[in-house]
Every structure is written in C-alpha cells, then in structure tokens.
Structure 1
C-alpha cells in the first residue's frame, strides 16, 4: 500500500496495521489541508488463507478538508444602494465554526465580524456556520460600510481562517421620489408650498443651490426651504402579479414661494445633481424635473346641454365644467334650475359638477350660476352665467299591457278591451286575425315561429286606425275596444309606424278553465264566467309540445262531467313540458295552457314540487351547517317510499341507500352504502382532511331496489349540502366597572 500527494508526487510515510478483513494506515504526519491524495494497492495481495485477492492495482483518490473560508455574505460584496432598513448583515462559512448550543450560551461564542463605521446592534449564530448581525437603528444613508473577519478564526475541524476577510457595501444615496404638484398637474394651488420627496434627509444648504422654480417667462421664483417631516407609503414595489411587496416613506422638503404663483401660469421645478445627504457623503446623482400649471381664475368653460340646444337629452345629467376646482357647496348655493326639478342628485369631479334629475320633455330650461360661486381658493366667478336650452320630446313608444307571455285571456260575454301604453303616438292602427289552436301552441313555445309569424289575409277579422288622446309628451294608458268577439283564438297587431309594433294572442271564451296535472294525470275544471256554474259536456283536446319536432302533439282528454270536471291519465313524460288544451267544438270554445301558471306554482307558496314523481322521499342533514378542515361531519337522514295514495311506507330489506359526498370541485371524496334502521333512518360521519378544499360540499343519497342477481335498480334520490371554511368563532369582550371599590356582603353592587 502507498499514499502519495497528487500535486507534489511525494509519498506519505506511515504505518500499516492489519485488521480482521482489512488494514489500517496511519500517516506519520498530518495530511495537508485541501490537498488531493491517491491511494494504491499493488497487485498480488493475498488473504490470510493464501488466496490471491487482486490481479491488478486498486487505486482511489480523496481530498482532505480545506481551511476555513467565507462562503457567502450579505449584503453582497460591493453592493450599492442598500436600503437603510436592512435588517441583517451576515457571513456564512464553509465549515461549522461553533457547536450547537442554547440561546443563553450565545454570549460565550466568538463574535467574528467588525463593522466600520460602528453600528449598534446584536449578533448571534443562526446555525453552526452562519453569523447574523442585526443593526439596532438601521443603517446610515449615503455611507460606505466595511465588514471584517479577522484571521485566525478556527472551525470545528481544526481549520483556520488564514487571512483577514473583508467586504464593502454602500447605502442609498439621495434620490427624489416625486413632488407636489405632480409633473403634469393642471390645477396646482397658487398659494400652497411645493413639496419635494426624497428617500432620505438632505442638506438644505446644498439643496438651495440646486433647486429652482422657473415661470414660463424664464424668471426664477424666490422662496424659502424647510423640512416637512415624512410622507408615509409614498412609493410601493409590486411583484409580477401586481401584489404590493413593500412601501417606502418619503422625506419632505418644502419650498414656499415668497408670493402666490400666477393663476394660469406654467412653472418648472428642477433639482440639479449634487444635493448632499444630511448624513454621509452621498449626493444626488440624477436631476429631477416637474412641470405644472397653476389653476386659472374660475369661469364656466363648458356645459352639457350646450347653450341654445333645441333637443337636449332627457336621460343625460346637467353637466357644468369650470376652469378650476370649485367650492362645490358655494356652487350649489348659487345654482338655479328653472323650472325647478322635484328631485335632484349631484356628483362632482375635480372641475366638473353633474346634476341628475328627470327633465320635462319638450320644455324650455334656464340654468343660472350666480357670480358669488367661489373656487377652491375663495375667488368668486365675479359674474352670473346663464344657460338656456330646450329638451327633446319623448321618444315615441307603444306597447300592449300584459304581453309578457304573448297571450291574454278575455271574457266572451263582454267587450274585449285591450290596454295600450303609449307616448308620442297620436294615431295607432290595429288588425285582428283568427288563429288555430295548433298555431298558438307553437307561437307560445317556439320563438322563431313567433318572431316570423305572418297571418293569412283570409283570417282578418277587423282592422282600423284609432286616435289616442292626451298630451303627446306624457305616457298614457288607453283602451282599445274591439267590441264583443266570438269565442276563439285571435292575433292582435297594433302599429304606430316607424317600427313601433306590438302584438298579442287573445284567447276569448265564456269559460274559465283550471288545470292541474302531475307526471301522468291531468285534472280540468270548467266554469261558466257569467253564472259561475260548472260546464258539463265540454269536449276537450290536450296537447304537449315536442321540442324535437317543434310541433304540438294532441290527444283527447274527454268531456267534462256534471261538475265541470274531466280527469284522465295523460301520456306526459315530463310534467314541466308546456301543456295546452282547447275544445273540439267551435261554438263552445275554451283554451288554457300551463304557461299561465305564473303565481300559482307550488314554489310560489313555498311548497316543494317533484315533477319527476319520484317514489322516494327523504331528508338529509348535518349536525351544523359549516365546518373547518380536520373536523368531523356528522350526517343523519331518513327516507320513505311514496305510495302515491297520500301515504308513505318504510323501505324494505330489498332496498338499499348509497351516500356519495362531493367536494366543491365535484370530486367524490366519500361513498358508502348506508345501514338503514327499522325506521328508515341512518347516520354516518366524515372526517375532513387537513387540506380539505374550502367551499360547499354536496351530499347525494340514491335509493335502489336489489334483485336476486344482486344488481341495483335506482328508485330515486335526495340531496343535502354543508360548507367548509377557515372561519373563526366570534369572540366578545365585555368590560365592567364597579361603582365603588369595596362592598359589604349583602350590598348591591352597581356595574357599568
């Protein structure tokens, strides 16, 4: 065996000691730190039993641990513009320098760094290799710092820092964050100090020679400088997602002109390089410039509507724009609108005032702003401003009242009178056409058919032009009297020209029809509207609408009995499908549809409705509505089978209930087959994970029949839900104060 230094080639002397299954080599002298060595086992080594172990040489290399070195520092070497609120100065070594210890023993450990200029603060070993110094009062601005680690520092392996290590960094030099007035400001105050915002205190003496405020004529504005404290959160940094990461305060220096600035004047503020920091040697490297305009004297510059407008909008606000920011209270005190509106709402911008009110159509208005209205600096307008305009007439409109569902019901015993809402339509033409029940069913369910429907000329019953009374500028309700119409279905169109058209299907009948239906039955009750008595022997046709063929599918319902009732099974796959019925005889016409169900549906009365006619009725609930992650959700429920005879039964042994729970993203997180009690009830629980998603969780119970082949046929289902949130229970603190400090037993103590 030999060991040699790779760099020098020298062989390392030492002794070899045989061990069971190997050997031990002890160098005669310590190996050189950081050096690389090669170990060599010559060929032909034999075991204690004489067996040859290797036919070729065995070689390997290793490097001895080096001396202690500095691996990393912060702030980085030669860093510039380091912030003064930097919280740590640290050095990390390549080897452990100190052993693990308690916080109380930190004082006995070496303090490896020296900072120039000196800083008050505390240092500690963050781990065995990292030392951190926390400045007590931050860093000084515009200052060059040097940090030294003295030579001779030893590590835990016996290594030594051979030479002194030092690095330098410098803190922020003066910089201008901004100023008030802002660059580009149009309405600067004429009599307020200017403010310049620096990133640190600066020397006012050096600033006096660098700051200038110059007017448009090139003349400098004299003034005085003074310190103004700090402006919090003047500047903010953001990450790539636009989220604020940190903010900076600004140090204020005020420049107060000796006299107010000229109204309407343009000024340029400059700060030249060379402004010195109040502490340290740093100076402002870049110049700063801001140009702004002083608010001009107040005057009214623009109005909406404009003066003399003859058709001012009825929906836009009255807008007044001034040359300068105004004292809006004084503007409102000096504003007159004639004729005066009954209700008015206002809003203001920097130089704009808006008044919202409902102007009268086709009316002369006069707006007066008194000369006493002042701007934000107390200067009055000095003269009255008068604005006159005329509002536009209202936009003509025409509508039949009650056409939201395209059809209306009318009594055949009296004149058919249709309400018309209109404005600006002195003459309206109308046309009335007969319709067939099948067409009406399509018109009420197929928008495209309704939109393009054109009645045949042979179906025309009557048409005429009528004059509508009243002021053309006022919306009115008037009646279109069509006279006594024969029972039947009609199509009414009203037309005022210029595209003002409305239409309606009219169902005229002497009978009132009530329809009630389920998934497989229909109940109809017919009553004469003149006598209120039931109508017997009324032959009825029912129809459902097929959305695939876009056609109604009629079937015979039968005739009403002596009570005016007909009830029969109906071939309806879905009870929510639109349903229609009408009479087969034209002389005893009646019409009804489920589309007229608005206001009389079960949910209008807070009642549940199951148009699927499920045989399963159940309820599912949890012990509370909201949970936190890692909590248990306790679930209970009960179910019954609906016998459809106003009675319910318990599930049998041949029925099972399966529960699934889904998270807010729709993923199934729990499923089980529930064990039903003799009362058809069940309970189970769910342990929420620590990382449970927040939101609403769905619970679904499916009840099935099990057959002899152990297969399940679903009967029905019911649902529930609960929420998961990182909520916190509300905490309340009540403080009470005794009326006196001491009491004797039995006395009453008043508390507040």
Structure 2
C-alpha cells in the first residue's frame, strides 16, 4: 500500500513539471490570433484594430511607409472649399483695432513750501458768516422703537473743530433724559452720537433736547429749541412652556421675556385659572427646576434674568396634583406687568393654555392624516388617536392587531397617535384593535380594547 501511494505522488510531481511544455496555451498555438470575438464586427465604418498576444520576431517586422501625396492644384482647392457651408457674418464682426489713446503726461514738479503743522499762530475761522442759522438736519431714533442701540444727531454746520475725541467730547449740545451708561462721540464735525454701553434700556421713554442758542463752530446759532422722544417697549412674552400640551398635574410652568424682569414682581401679575377658578401659584425653587429636564433645558438656553418658573400649589402649600385633572389650564400675564429695565408696564394681557391629563382613552381614528376623509386609499396610512401621550419606552407593536392581515405591516407610535402602514388590498374592510394594556406616559393603561 505504501509503495502504491509513493508511485502516485511521484507521478503527480512529474506531471506538474512537464505540463507547461506539453500543454501550450491557446494563445500560443494560435500565434497571435485572439480567441475573443471582434467587438467591431458590427461596425460598417470607423477605425478597426486587432489586439493579440505578442509573438517572437515582432521587433523585426517591416513598417509600411506613408503614401506619397501630391499637392492639390488651385482649382481643386477652390472646388474643395466650395463644398464647405458659407460662413455667416454679422455687422459687429468687423471692428477697428483697439488701441489706447495715449500715455498720461508726466507730472509737473511743484513748489515746496515749508510750514509748521499745526500752525503756531491763532488764525480766524474761515468763511465765518453769523447771519446763517444753525439747523438740525436729522436725528434718530424717534417714536416707538423695538430696540435702540444708539442715538444720532446731525447738524447743518460744523459743531466742533477737527481735533481729538477727548477735546470734542467736551462740547455736547444734546441733553438726554434719562441717560444710560455710554459715551458721547463726534462722527466728523457735524454728527453727534451717543453710544450706549449695551443698548438703551427697554420699557423706557427717553427725551432728547437741544436748547435754543446752541452755537456752531463757525458761529451760527440755533434759533428754536428742538426736542423729541423715543420709547422702548415693555416686556413681551417670548416662550411659554407647556403650551398646547397634555401635562402632569404638578407640572412646572416656564415663561421667558424679551428683557430683564424681576420674577417676584412679575409673579404678582400672572394668573393661572381653570374653568374660571383661580389657582394658587408660587415661584419654583432651583432644586425643583433642576429635577425637571425640560424646564432646566430651557433655563440654560435663554438669557439670564429674563425668565421665571412657577407652579401651582394646594391650599396647604403642597404641590401634589395641584392642577385639576383632565382640565384646560390658562396662564395669563396680565396687563401692567413690570420690567426690570424701565418704568413702563405692559398695555395688554398675554396668555397661553395647556391641558392636564385625564384617564387614558381612545379618541378617534382616521386615515391619511385627514380627519374628514371617509374612505381610505390602499397606499395611505391609518391613525388612531388617544387622549394622552403614549409611553414609547415600553410600547409593544403586538398590542395592535389588524384583520385581515396587512402585508409588511408597520406600527409606529408618535405622541398620542399610533400610525399604521403597510400594503392594503382595495375594496377591503379592515378592523384595527388596540389592546387595553396600552400605557401612557403617566403610567395609566387604556383599560379596554379600542377598535
């Protein structure tokens, strides 16, 4: 047996050594003729070429010299050119050669006058004409403005000499009441600007006055006193949380404004009501805010000192279920709400509303997100709406049953709605049921099957 195995191995090794010699490749046998079909056989005209394996002696092949050509005669050339389409010309094709008019003349040398700058002697003001009057050309802001970053006044005559800002800042002909933190500075010799340190305070009425007899740098005099006012707005509510939502009965309420406020003072102008009844409230503590992920997020993303957070309380001061169940809650920032920046208060009430949760129940069903649609299309989706938001963390698609079966059924919960998608048959009545074990975010179950 061992001898037989040895003979087989020796034969296999021998066969492997001589196979490259005994079995030449098809390309070698065909001597440069490729075995693959010609891809250009179907082409009637055009360039044709053949790709094949290299063969010995290719470097010794003779090359075909180019065919000797003869130049065309003049008549033959003319006849050949006549076969080309006529070149279309336009009126703008022919233009004169563009050349520059010429070089500029060389600059002339001037007389150098040596003088001291600034001049030592005091010279009179040029073009002084006391008969001309001084006027205020324009000023801003004026009237009711949403935001006032600075104040500008432009005169008809120069008011200061060209000098440093420190010297010109001593000549301020405008009186501003009240005057916030900032600096007066001249933009040139005719425009005066008050640059507020931050901006003009909100909820404030400002009065600017330029007295009669104000004199310009060239001697002109302002004949009449000029005064104007501008007003920045009182507090405006920017963000209200929760709004148009279903919430817990001990939820925090968050309100932010467009300017700084005093939370204790604003709280006195806020009312929380349900069915016409007043609900007691207080400011939320820092600990309560930090425990509420939603409210703490908004607190970090608004400007400081522009918000307040409050909550409802029971008669004994506790907060458990302080808001009535399954009720519409209205929060009103009443007229007269003060600002921490100025004395003006709001002129009208600002309000928003939300709803507290009740028992988890089925509300209605519809298709294609159209509550008025009576017939559903096979390609559309179905929606089942509930009274409270669904707990997405523990939702199980097996709670939803469809009869008859829908191909590629997909059940997606979103907020207080379940969306059902899949391939439905036309002219077929389907029945959708939701198990009573469906749970909302408040820990309540549906209790009974909804269909």
1:254 aligns with 2:321: no
- Report the counterpart of residue 327 of structure 1 in structure 2: 391
Once the 2 structures are TM-superposed, how far is the Cα of residue 286 of structure 1 from its aligned partner? 1.6
Say which structure, 1 or 2, has more relative contact order (CA 8 Å, 6+ apart). Answer: 2
**Partner residue of 1:223 out of 281, 291, 296:** 281
Spell out, residue by residue over 1:353-388, the C-alpha distance to the aligned partner (whole angstroms, 9 max, x if none): 21211246798976553333222x33332424254x
Spell out, residue by residue over 1:461-498, the C-alpha distance to the aligned partner (whole angstroms, 9 max, x if none): xxxxxxxxxxxxxxxxxxxxxxxxxxxxxxxxxxxxxx
Once the 2 structures are TM-superposed, how far is the Cα of residue 263 of structure 1 from its aligned partner? 3.3
Once the 2 structures are TM-superposed, how far is the Cα of residue 301 of structure 1 from its aligned partner? 2.4
Are 2:400 and 2:411, in contact at CA under 8 Å, matched by a contact in 1?
Answer: no
- Report the counterpart of residue 194 of structure 1 in structure 2: 253
- Report the counterpart of residue 107 of structure 1 in structure 2: 166
Separation in 2, partners of 1:312, 1:86: 56
Separation in 1, partners of 2:209, 2:377: 78
- More helix by proportion, 1 or 2? 2
**Partner residue of 2:416 out of 331, 351, 354:** 351
Separation in 1, partners of 2:437, 2:280: 33
- More strand by proportion, 1 or 2? 1
Once the 2 structures are TM-superposed, how far is the Cα of residue 327 of structure 1 from its aligned partner? 2.4
Separation in 1, partners of 2:141, 2:428: 75
SS of 2:272's equivalent in the other structure is strand
SS of 2:442's equivalent in the other structure is coil
1:141 aligns with 2:202: yes
Separation in 2, partners of 1:166, 1:316: 67
Separation in 1, partners of 2:341, 2:264: 13
Are 2:436 and 2:450, in contact at CA under 8 Å, matched by a contact in 1?
Answer: no
- Report the counterpart of residue 69 of structure 1 in structure 2: 135
Separation in 1, partners of 2:305, 2:408: 46
- Report the counterpart of residue 737 of structure 1 in structure 2: none
Separation in 1, partners of 2:366, 2:247: 26
Are 1:188 and 1:292, in contact at CA under 8 Å, matched by a contact in 2?
Answer: yes
SS of 1:330's equivalent in the other structure is coil
- Report the counterpart of residue 23 of structure 1 in structure 2: none
Once the 2 structures are TM-superposed, how far is the Cα of residue 222 of structure 1 from its aligned partner? 1.5
Once the 2 structures are TM-superposed, how far is the Cα of residue 135 of structure 1 from its aligned partner? 0.7
Once the 2 structures are TM-superposed, how far is the Cα of residue 326 of structure 1 from its aligned partner? 1.7
CA 1:355 to 1:265, structure 2 compared with 1: closer, same or farther past 3 Å? same
Once the 2 structures are TM-superposed, how far is the Cα of residue 299 of structure 1 from its aligned partner? 1.6
Are 2:412 and 2:419, in contact at CA under 8 Å, matched by a contact in 1?
Answer: yes
SS of 2:268's equivalent in the other structure is helix
SS of 1:379's equivalent in the other structure is coil
**Partner residue of 1:268 out of 330, 335, 343:** 330
Separation in 2, partners of 1:386, 1:209: 45
SS of 1:315's equivalent in the other structure is coil
Separation in 1, partners of 2:342, 2:160: 36
TM-score by length of 2: 0.54
CA 1:385 to 1:204, structure 2 compared with 1: closer, same or farther past 3 Å? same
- Report the counterpart of residue 12 of structure 1 in structure 2: none
- Report the counterpart of residue 449 of structure 2 in structure 1: 385
CA 1:327 to 1:353, structure 2 compared with 1: closer, same or farther past 3 Å? same
Once the 2 structures are TM-superposed, how far is the Cα of residue 283 of structure 1 from its aligned partner? 1.8
Separation in 2, partners of 1:166, 1:315: 70
Are 2:150 and 2:200, in contact at CA under 8 Å, matched by a contact in 1?
Answer: no
1:86 aligns with 2:145: no
Once the 2 structures are TM-superposed, how far is the Cα of residue 232 of structure 1 from its aligned partner? 10
CA 1:358 to 1:98, structure 2 compared with 1: closer, same or farther past 3 Å? same
Separation in 2, partners of 1:360, 1:32: 96
The aligned runs of 1:121-160 (5 Å cut-off) are 121-149=182-210, 153-160=214-221
SS of 1:262's equivalent in the other structure is coil
Once the 2 structures are TM-superposed, how far is the Cα of residue 139 of structure 1 from its aligned partner? 1.8
Separation in 2, partners of 1:318, 1:116: 64
Unaligned runs of 5+ residues in structure 1 are: 1-29, 34-63, 235-247, 306-310, 388-752
Separation in 2, partners of 1:362, 1:172: 61
Separation in 1, partners of 2:406, 2:305: 49
Q: CA RMSD in A?
A: 4.1
TM-score by length of 1: 0.34
Separation in 1, partners of 2:331, 2:274: 9
**Partner residue of 1:207 out of 266, 271, 275:** 266
CA 1:344 to 1:329, structure 2 compared with 1: closer, same or farther past 3 Å? farther
The aligned runs of 1:338-487 (5 Å cut-off) are 343-347=408-412, 349-359=414-424, 367-375=432-440, 377-385=441-449, 387=451
SS of 1:343's equivalent in the other structure is strand
- Report the counterpart of residue 653 of structure 1 in structure 2: none
CA 1:114 to 1:366, structure 2 compared with 1: closer, same or farther past 3 Å? same
- Report the counterpart of residue 178 of structure 2 in structure 1: 117
**Partner residue of 2:157 out of 73, 90, 95:** 95
Separation in 2, partners of 1:231, 1:164: 48
Separation in 1, partners of 2:208, 2:376: 76
Are 1:334 and 1:373, in contact at CA under 8 Å, matched by a contact in 2?
Answer: no
The aligned runs of 1:275-290 (5 Å cut-off) are 275-290=337-352
Separation in 2, partners of 1:280, 1:108: 33
Once the 2 structures are TM-superposed, how far is the Cα of residue 167 of structure 1 from its aligned partner? 4.0
Separation in 2, partners of 1:322, 1:360: 26
Separation in 2, partners of 1:204, 1:298: 36
1:294 aligns with 2:353: no
CA 1:118 to 1:303, structure 2 compared with 1: closer, same or farther past 3 Å? closer
Spell out, residue by residue over 1:111-169, the C-alpha distance to the aligned partner (whole angstroms, 9 max, x if none): 42443434332333223311112111212222333434467654243224467655443
- Report the counterpart of residue 180 of structure 1 in structure 2: 241
Are 1:233 and 1:250, in contact at CA under 8 Å, matched by a contact in 2?
Answer: no
The aligned runs of 1:520-669 (5 Å cut-off) are none
Worse-matched range after superposition: 168-177 or 275-284 = 168-177
CA 1:372 to 1:100, structure 2 compared with 1: closer, same or farther past 3 Å? farther
CA 1:127 to 1:31, structure 2 compared with 1: closer, same or farther past 3 Å? closer
Once the 2 structures are TM-superposed, how far is the Cα of residue 86 of structure 1 from its aligned partner? 1.9
The aligned runs of 1:493-508 (5 Å cut-off) are none
Are 1:334 and 1:372, in contact at CA under 8 Å, matched by a contact in 2?
Answer: no
